[in-house]
Structure 1
Amino acid sequence: MEGSYNYYIVALSVLIAIFASFSALNIAAKISHSKGKTRFFWLLSGAFVMGTGVWSMHFVGMLAFHLHAGVKYDALLTIVSMSASIISSFIAFYITMPKSINWLKIAIGGFIMGSGIVAMHYIGMEAMIMNARLTYDPTLWGLSAIIALVASYAALLLFLRFRNQSSSSMLKWLSSIIMGFAICGMHYTGMKAARFYFEDGMTMNHTSSGSVDFFLLYGVTITIFIILMVSWGAMLFDRHVLAKMAYEDSITGLPNRNAMNRFFDTHMGSDSPIGVLFLDLDRFKAINDTLGHNIGDLLVHEVGARLRQFIHGDQQAYRIGGDEFLFIVERCDLERAEQLANQILQSIKKVYRIEGNELYITGSIGISIGSIDESDHLFLLKTADTAMYKAKGLGKNQYCVYTDEMGVQEIRKMELEKDLQRALEHNEFFIVYQPKWNVKTNQLFGFEALLRWQHPRLGVVSPSEFIPIAEETGLIIPMTRWTLEQACHQCRVWNARGIDQPVSVNLSVRLFQPDILLEWIQNVLEEAGLDPHYLELEITESMVFYDVNDIIHQLENIRKLGVRVSMDDFGTGYSSIGLLDRMPIDALKLDRLFTNDLDTPGKRAIIHAIILMAERLHLDVIAEGVENEEHIEFLTQLGCYVMQGYFYGKPMNGEEMITWIEGHNETGSHQAAATSIDE
């Protein structure tokens, strides 16, 4: 008698195969985009869904036909058959997981998966417990194995095809249907190959029976339920957990750089004006270094909380770096961007109370407005970044709108940065010297060595342009070494001609970090044959924001050599007064900012207080920027007698300085100095 199938159950088996295929393809898209433990999670999930899906389809298919005899299933062999399917899928997915694979790996992976499916099917057949002997038609058995291999290769190729697509599509559903029918084709071809010989020797074809193996039914039901749970759980994990990890900043809870990139990708091609506000916190590094990273993180968290009040509708904030934030404003014009920038700055500068610390911080904002359609979003970010640095350069705690002029300046900066290394190699730097004059003794008080750059195309480049670039790139270290060597050799030449005056050289804080400054100075002095008391090093107040104890220790060792140390640009915004009694220095240099406002009573009172403080600490005071007799008169009345500026002498090269000195050896009068400059 011919056997028959329950076609409703057959249809169910096909649907299971299609659903399992779709779920596996969906998970495949996550594997190659993940890393570490997350990648292993997706790999295991994909192999489990694929393996159990094929297994479930097989045993649902087994329920679709019955024998006249009673049939049970061996639990151990049934579990082994499922394991074979899952393990082979895992190995195949693992082999083909790398982004760059060759056809050999695909061939091996497909063979392993196909072999696993064949093993799963025929181990599952062996799990049948009945009063019959089971054999197979060799031709149909071979055909079922071929179909299993073809289905496996199709599965892997589709896996590779869809692993770069995270969303579902009609093409993915069509591919799942093809895979489902291929897997079902293998199963029913294998079933057709089966021959059952009962004890009376009679061959039994597949015939209908009403008996149901509840173990198999429950096992398949539970497995399908687990497949659904794994698939839905994976989607929920992806949407809520991984998405949060990938697109949300862990400290502030704001969207991160990935979320920002996703916004630009989503709005690519839009011609609506976009406003980009690039916010960078001022002096954040000082707080982070002095109070610790824990306080720094808490401060960033508080800043993020304040920025949340400005998030609404078409206005979103992102944290894109350590102390860097970004606002993207859709349908934005200049007036709206400037209004938002002002509100942000006002909010940020309010006091922060964090673990007993009362902190004040400000921000600098760069604004760029454009459309993503007209320009690459990276251009908007770059121009906003440029404007932000311009705001910092203008004094911080303000915003700046990007202009084409800034773009020209940025290009010039990039060109200078590129040429700076070559300048050192090609001897494009030169040194000029500016005299210091003691009006009380009417004598020369020394020289300051000033570095200059003769660019072959741009001419003389201002130190205010190339020194910050050298600081950023680290070239300031070899440049300062060269300046020290040249200044010491020049001073030795002056000594030989009877000019016994010290020369001062500016030092960057970068030179204290390698802890080799003392050795440098010893070597330079030795090579030049110069006594240490002829060298003076000028440091800046900004050094108090670094490792002060280490800097003090290094300066103490340097002074033990006999080298003088002075603090340059004193009073320009850094609070170092509390450290003056600890700092091993010999002199304070008043910034020209004070000299320019000497007619202001308040400024004169500050200078007088600084001079009195310096006298108590036995420090010399040198005023910079002295340009007329009125400056000299005011400073002398306040008790400052050592001065430096164009009134006494402009920066000159070594030979010009000798001529200038010879002209001042006799008189040293103010008028003679002014006449010399006029000439």
Structure 2
Amino acid sequence: MPDVIQAGDTEQAMVLMQEAGGVDIVLCDLADRGYDCLEFLRIAGRVGLVQAVVLCGELGPELRRALVPMSTLSGLQLLGVLRSPLQLWALRKMLLRYAYRRSPVVCAPLQKNLPTEEEIRRGLALGEFRAWFQPKFWMRTGALAGVEALVRWEHPARGVLLPADFLAAVLAYDLIDQMFLQLLEQGLSLLGVLRRQQVQLELAFNLHASQLFGNELVGRIKEAIDRYGFPGSTLLFELSENGLLDSSPRIQENLLRLRMLGCSLSVDDFGQGFSSLKLLCRLPFNQLKLDGEVVRHVDDPASQAMIASTLALATSVGMSLVIEGVSSQKIRNGVVAMGCELGQGFYLARPMAGYRLLPWLDEHRANCLAVKVIR
């Protein structure tokens, strides 16, 4: 059983920790002499006497709202904030999570090097970058609202790689347009197959704001949809909120060109950055996509306030709202109860390769038809 040291104030705690050679976790009450506690944590962390902190006590709503999402405090890992009176099961849950993260088997850091330019060019030449597809739904009915194309690198030696493993390198080597155009071709080809089956879908792609500095990409998009005979309204382009903060006139002009083609535009990861409301209203977007972190704790009043305010904002400026990160029935039910309609996440459907999407669509249509017949 781990040793527990108890101190009546920060001065005594510092002495006891030095005598013990340091501790793993400090349980600290910020409601009482909060400033002293923060100074104590800063100094103790700097000299290596403690690794993590759990806060407890009755904090004001503004402090709790600020502290709960934080992962670090005074340079220390913040495990969480507990209310008074202290509930041992909640403390135990935090301690177990801390022990799990420190396990050398689970948490040994992987030394991942970004791929070289030659590796990426080879992968592009061999068609290893593939579009996987994740459906979006009308959550009340379960009806399909569209699909999003997500890039995966089907690496011959390392298996299926996620964007976190290679996207920074693709951007650094200025190969992002080449990769995107391959995905666009794959997506439109799939839509062509579905069209022959009398199935129409909206298909979403992610764009990086830097791709819209020049005019060539929009022209290539128009050329592709004309070649396949699809209207521009078939496509939706998602751009991360953070990438729009300093959007130049050239980017704004190309966003307008996409909208004039009939394409929809979505602000991705909304709530992760600090977009100007004036900028948001000036740009030609017609959808907001709320970041999944916002809905992870859907019962939390702060999360509910963000969801409600984002829904009100989207409604007031004539945009639709998509809830990302719908990873459980609890989240789905919570956001639907608040009036949200569109959703995407692992609970609803996971990303899948194109060859899996076609039978999935058949099964989904059959299930929807069965529900209608039963009703």
Question: Under a length normalisation based on structure 1, what TM-score does the superposition of the two structures give?
Answer: 0.38
Cα-to-partner distance string for 1:38-70 (whole Å, 9 max, x where unaligned): xxxxxxxxxxxxxxxxxxxxxxxxxxxxxxxxx
Cα-to-partner distance string for 1:8-62 (whole Å, 9 max, x where unaligned): xxxxxxxxxxxxxxxxxxxxxxxxxxxxxxxxxxxxxxxxxxxxxxxxxxxxxxx
Match in the other structure for 1:545: 245
Does the 8 A contact of 1:485 with 1:528 survive in 2?
no
Secondary structure of residue in 1 paired with 2:352: coil
Does 1:531 pair with 2:231? yes
Shift of 1:498: 1.6
Match in the other structure for 1:443: 143
Does the 8 A contact of 2:128 with 2:155 survive in 1?
yes
Letter in 2 for 1:626: V
Cα-to-partner distance string for 1:297-317 (whole Å, 9 max, x where unaligned): xxxxxxxxxxxxxxxxxxxxx
Structure 1 residue runs without a partner (length 5+): 1-334, 340-404, 672-679
Change beyond 3 A, Cα 1:627–1:670: farther
Does 1:420 pair with 2:120? yes
Task: Provide the C-alpha distance between the structure 1 equivalents of 2:116 and 2:162, rounded to a whole number of angstroms.
Answer: 11
Shift of 1:614: 0.4
Task: Provide the C-alpha distance between the structure 1 equivalents of 2:183 and 2:241, rounded to a whole number of angstroms.
Answer: 21
Quote the RMSD (CA, aligned, Å): 2.6
Match in the other structure for 2:325: 625
Does the 8 A contact of 2:115 with 2:166 survive in 1?
no
Secondary structure of residue in 1 paired with 2:266: strand
Does the 8 A contact of 1:624 with 1:645 survive in 2?
yes
Match in the other structure for 2:281: 581
Match in the other structure for 2:309: 609
Secondary structure of residue in 2 paired with 1:668: helix
Does the 8 A contact of 2:206 with 2:237 survive in 1?
yes
Does 1:647 pair with 2:312? no
State how 1:104-183 maps to structure 2 within 5 Å: none
Match in the other structure for 1:501: 201
1:564 to 251, 264, 270: 264
Shift of 1:441: 4.6
Change beyond 3 A, Cα 1:631–1:515: same
Shift of 1:669: 9.5
Say which structure is richer in helix.
1
Match in the other structure for 2:357: 657
Shift of 1:670: 12
Task: Provide the C-alpha distance between the structure 2 equivalents of 1:625 and 1:417, rounded to a whole number of angstroms.
Answer: 32
Secondary structure of residue in 2 paired with 1:413: coil
Match in the other structure for 1:479: 179
Does the 8 A contact of 1:502 with 1:533 survive in 2?
yes
State how 1:137-536 maps to structure 2 within 5 Å: 409=111, 412-536=112-236
Shift of 1:483: 1.1
Does the 8 A contact of 2:242 with 2:272 survive in 1?
no
Question: Under a length normalisation based on structure 2, what TM-score does the superposition of the two structures give?
Answer: 0.67
Does 1:555 pair with 2:255? yes
Would you identify which runs of 4 or more consecutive aligned residues in structure 1 move more than 6 Å? none
Task: Provide the C-alpha distance between the structure 2 equivalents of 1:338 and 1:529, rounded to a whole number of angstroms.
Answer: 63
Change beyond 3 A, Cα 1:585–1:414: closer
Task: Provide the C-alpha distance between the structure 2 equivalents of 1:660 and 1:473, rounded to a whole number of angstroms.
Answer: 36
Count of matched residue pairs: 271
Structure 2 residue runs without a partner (length 5+): 1-42, 48-107
Shift of 1:485: 1.6
